[in-house]
Amino acid sequence: MKKIVEGGLIVAAAAGIYVAASYAQMNFDTVEIKATKVSGNIWMLEGAGGNIGVSVGEDGVLLVDDQFAPLTGKILAAVKKISDKPVKFLVNTHWHWDHTGGNENLGKAGVLIVAHDNVRTRLLTDQATLLGKSAASPKIALPVITFDNSVTYHINGETMHVYKVPPAHTDGDAFVRFKNANVVHTGDVFASGRYPYIDSVNGGSVAGIVKAMDDLIPTLGDDTKVIPGHGPLSSKKDVIAYRNMIATVGARVEALVKQGKTLDEVKAARPTAEFDAAWGKPRSGDEFVPFVYYSYAPYKK
Ligand SMILES: [Zn+2]
C-alpha cells in the first residue's frame, strides 16, 4: 500500500486498486470550501482536490474543475454566497478524478461541460495510473463540447481563453486565461510550493511541464494572479520557482536513467534533497521521484 496525497488529504492506495475506492474512504464531511476573491469577478474555491476557478456575473456562473462528487453540494452552496445566478458552464482542465469528480452531479443539473478532446477520451474508458485505476465515467459526466486547440468564452464581461498546452501533467491539459481580470488557472500543470503528481505513464512528462511553464512565464505580468491545480493562489515568481525546481530534478533523474539506474537507485541518490524542506509536503520527495523517473524510463502497465 502507498499513500495518495491530493489537496492536502492522504489516502492509502496500491497501483492495482481503484483510486475512487480510496477516496471513498475519506471523510468529506469535515471538508470546508473556502472562497477567495482573486480579481474582478473571478474567485477561487479550495476544499479537497483541485482548486476551482469561478467566474460570476450577469450571464451565469462558470466553474473551472469540480473536485469530488461528495463535495458538489458544498461547492454549490459556496457559489451561492458569491452569486445568485445558476451554474451554467463547467470547464475541466484535465481528466483526473480530483478535478472531474463532480461532473456527474453537474451534468445531471444541466451544466454544459467543456474540455479538451483527450479529457473526454480518457473519461470514456477505465484508466491505469501510477496512483491507481480510474473507472470510466457515465455519459452524463462527459464533456459535451470538446476542442482540439482552444475555445473562447464571452461571458460576464470577460474574454476567457481556454487553450491546450503540450502534453505536460497529462495528454489533455488546458490553461484557462481570464484576460480582463488578468488571471490564469493552470490546472495541475502547475502545483504551487509542493511536488506535483505527473501522469507520466499516460502522456505527461517533466519535459512537457517545463515546456508549458517556459511558454507560460513570458505571458505573465508581475500582477497576474495564477490559480494552481493544487496549493495557494500564486504569482509569476511562484511559477518560476516551480519551473526551476522541476527542471533541476528532471535533469538529475534523466542523467541517472541514462546510466541505467533503477527506480530504487534513483531514489537512493536523493535527487530532490535540497528541495525537500520547501516542497516536500504533502507529497515527499520519495513519492515524487517515480513520476519523474517514468518521464524518462519506460513503464510496463
Ligand atoms: Zn491531475
By three-state DSSP, how is residue 92 classified? coil
pLDDT of residue 4: 62
In this structure, the number of other CB atoms found within 10 A of the CB of residue 57 comes to 16
Residue 184 CA: distances (Å) to CA of 18, 220, 224, 234, 247: 31, 9, 8, 10, 22
CA 191 to centroid of ligand 1, rounded, Å: 10
CA 167 to centroid of ligand 1, rounded, Å: 12
pLDDT of residue 11: 60
Lowest mean pLDDT segment, chosen from 19-33, 49-63, 103-117, 181-195: 19-33
Residues of the chain above pLDDT 90, percent: 88
Residue 23 confidence class, pLDDT cut points 50, 70, 90: confident
Provide the whole-model pTM: 0.95
Over range 255-267, report the average pLDDT: 98
Residue 181 CA: distances (Å) to CA of 43, 87, 185, 217, 254: 10, 20, 12, 17, 39
CA 174 to centroid of ligand 1, rounded, Å: 11
CA 58 to centroid of ligand 1, rounded, Å: 31
CA 43 to centroid of ligand 1, rounded, Å: 20
pLDDT of residue 5: 60
pLDDT of residue 27: 81
- Residue 220, judged by CB atoms within 10 A of its CB (0-12, 13-18, 19+), counts as middle
The C-alpha atoms of residue 206 and residue 219 are separated, in whole angstroms, by 21
For residue range 139-154, list pLDDT tens digits in order: 999 999 999 999 999 9
Strands (E), 65-210: 87-91, 112-116, 127-129, 132-134, 145-147, 150-155, 158-164, 174-178, 183-185
The C-alpha atoms of residue 183 and residue 173 are separated, in whole angstroms, by 17
Q: Which residues surround ligand 1, an ion (CB under 5 A)?
A: 96, 188
- Say if residues 155 and 89 touch (Cβ distance below 8 Å): yes
For residue range 170-182, list pLDDT tens digits in order: 999 999 999 999 9
CA 61 to centroid of ligand 1, rounded, Å: 23
CA 270 to centroid of ligand 1, rounded, Å: 24
Going by C-beta distance under 8 Å and a sequence separation of 6 or more, which residues neighbour residue 13?
Answer: 1, 2, 3, 4, 19, 22, 131, 132
Kindly report the average pLDDT of the chain as a whole number: 94
Residue 13 confidence class, pLDDT cut points 50, 70, 90: low
pLDDT of residue 162: 98
pLDDT of residue 3: 61
Residue 2 confidence class, pLDDT cut points 50, 70, 90: low
* pLDDT at 296 exceeding the cut of 70: yes
CA 158 to centroid of ligand 1, rounded, Å: 26
| Nearest Cα residue to 279 out of 292, 263, 266, 268 | 292
* pLDDT at 17 exceeding the cut of 80: no
CA 87 to centroid of ligand 1, rounded, Å: 23
CA 128 to centroid of ligand 1, rounded, Å: 13
Q: Give me 52's grid cell.
A: 476551482
CA 233 to centroid of ligand 1, rounded, Å: 17
